[in-house]
Structure formats: C-alpha cells, structure tokens
C-alpha cells in the first residue's frame, strides 16, 4: 500500500473514534525509516488503547504488515510502526511533555 493511502487509512481510523488534535508530519525528506508520522491525543488510557487498536485492526484488514506496537500496558503512549507511517497515540499530558512536533522541528502537513 502506498504511504499516502496508508496515512489516510490511519487518519480515518483515528477520526472515526474521536482521536483529538491529529497532526500528520511529512518526514520523507528528513527520515530514512518512514514517510509520515501521525501524532494524536486520546482522552484516557482506555481511549488511547482503543485508538491504537482501531488503527492496528484496519491496517491488518487492508493487508498491511504491522511491524510493531509498543506501550499497550500503560497506554499513556502507544507507538504503531506501519512501515512508511508511524503513529503515536498519546494522552494529553504525555503529548505535551514530549512535544514530538517541536522535537522534529516541523509544522504539521495537516491537522484535523
């Protein structure tokens, strides 16, 4: 699956179950491991887990090889490695603390 379609699949999955402050970062020019990074906020540990599980399920259903999923136990920050797309699902305090958008020194390509 092309990285743009995979990006769109992940974003749609997150939107459908009310992920907040979805930011899509185009990292093709500065990364050798992925084309897009998606950062999204969940309202609770249960919501974070549900968001990550939904992306995982839809990616698998679309035939995508999910390379990894980390952080499910605490569910403060779950990372999904979909190959060309990396998804960070975080609780608000964790997202604010790590501020990945600033860390990567980029403005989001899209926000919803």
Q: Domain count of the chain?
A: 1
**Contact (CB, 8 A) for 54 and 48:** no
Q: How far is CA 41 from the centre of its chain?
A: 9
| Distance separating alpha carbons of residues 65 and 40, to the nearest angstrom | 21
| Distance separating alpha carbons of residues 58 and 12, to the nearest angstrom | 10
Report the chain's mean pLDDT, rounded to a whole number: 90
What are the pLDDT digits (tens) for 35-89? 999 999 999 999 999 999 999 999 999 999 999 999 988 889 999 999 999 999 9
pTM for this model (two decimals): 0.89
CATH number for the domain harbouring residue 105:
3.30.460.10
Query: What domain range includes position 41?
Result: 3-111
- Which residues fall within 8 angstroms of residue 101, CB to CB, at 6 or more apart? 23, 25, 39, 107, 108
């Amino acid at each position: 699956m092309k990285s743009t379609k995979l990006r769109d699949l992940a974003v749609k999955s997150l939107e459908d179950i009310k992920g907040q402050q979805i930011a899509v970062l185009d990292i093709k020019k500065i990364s050798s491991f992925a084309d897009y990074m998606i950062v999204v906020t969940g309202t609770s540990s249960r919501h974070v887990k549900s968001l990550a599980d939904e992306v995982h399920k839809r990616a698998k259903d679309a035939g995508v090889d999910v390379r990894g999923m980390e952080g499910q136990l605490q569910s403060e920050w779950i990372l999904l490695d979909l190959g060309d797309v990396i998804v960070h699902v975080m609780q608000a305090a964790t997202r604010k603390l790590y501020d990945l958008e600033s860390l990567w020194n980029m403005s989001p390509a899209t926000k919803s």
